[in-house]
Structure 1
Amino acid sequence: MASARHRLFSVPPRSDARLHHDLRFHALLPDADWGGLPVAIWRRFSKRVADGATSVYVGQIDEAYLSRAGWWFAQAARLIGGPLPTSNEVGVPMIVAVTEDAASGGQIWTRICGRRHGFPQVIHSAKRFAGPTGLQEYLGFGLSMELRIAVADAGLEFHSTAYALQLAGVRIQLLSWLTPGDLTVTHADLGGGAFRFTLEIIHPRFGRMLRQSAVFRESSS
């Protein structure tokens, strides 16, 4: 099965597709683990958007949970740009846009979370292929999160391993009580061009702080 997937994936994209073969995520996993993923996940994570174009994914939030501690932590995080969801509304739209980051050689991810009242919440972050694990999520204000990538249940999982603050060129690892806890992001393919994106944060003292899940389809690329 894996060899058949490799043959299928080796077929070059159409000449009019604004895609480049991108091995940055593949390089973070053993070949056997990468080979066990559905072809649709390969394609999403082997795409480098060309010349300022953006890949856009449109979906709807179908699960959202914020504990009391999680709500307060998400509100406090607004002081550094609001990198965490602040609402537990479901049935509202969500848009994710992925653009190449020429400055870091990574990707800029913009998440737009709809609300029934008021403006949507906009969350920015950048995935950088650097650091001890080979992958960082940069949140702004010098704050970054080290991520470890793994394959589980035929999906991709991103696990936080450390949070750090960069000040005057010096990297300072944050103590656990200053962080929201262990973060896991799961990308699971649902077939038919759809996939599920799930974010969960569990604190060693306060337990589950946050969980958000949404189903997406690609809108354009």
Structure 2
Amino acid sequence: MGMGTGMASPLLSCAIMALLASVLPPPSVAGDPDLLQDICVADLSSSVKVNGFACKATVTEDDFYFKGLGAAGNTNTTYGSVVTGANVEKVPGLNTLGVSMARIDYAPGGLNAPHTHPRATEMVFVLEGALDVGFITTGNKLVSKTISAGDVFVFPRGLVHFQKNNGAGPASVISAFNSQFPGTQSLAMTLFAATPPVPDHVLTTAFQVGTKEVEKIKSRLAPKKA
């Protein structure tokens, strides 16, 4: 009788764990879902809406090829930086593979303004120059460092982060993501250049400034007319 009582506790624990495993949702993953076939090259012209892109029937080697990261981009922009993406839109063969890359170039003083990638962690490798980089945790702690050629730095998924070239010459990095399409949300553009616009009274209250200041920022970030 004593043996039966002693064995009941571990058996009951195992039964409860098995029951919970059968009813609780699976744990979240930190990247895109695993692929279910060898390849699924994105059909970028398809009107079918899925979590990713529909697969196209005819595949060529060019679906897995992109040469756009070899040369520096034009940094004559608002922030003095430019991002050249090598995601599924540029490399359709990345569809379902859960990875992508980008090249970021910075003029002297150039900034990759505070932004987030909602679907991916980012790792940067510095090709040239030196950068002040950092991310902010949800506890409002800044984690920052100065990195230079040959260094690597990681920005965790979903956290606000930035890179700033404080050197006298140009700088550039190669970024890697654990998503075929990581997405980018610039804080400034999201809040001050959304369509339709975020109401002024929301922005004035959030940033504790007047309407004139909000309108001034909006005018500077508005898309340039052709």
Smaller-chain TM-score range? under 0.3
Structure with higher strand content: 1
Query: If the length of structure 1 is used for normalisation, what is the TM-score?
Result: 0.26
Structure with higher helix content: 2
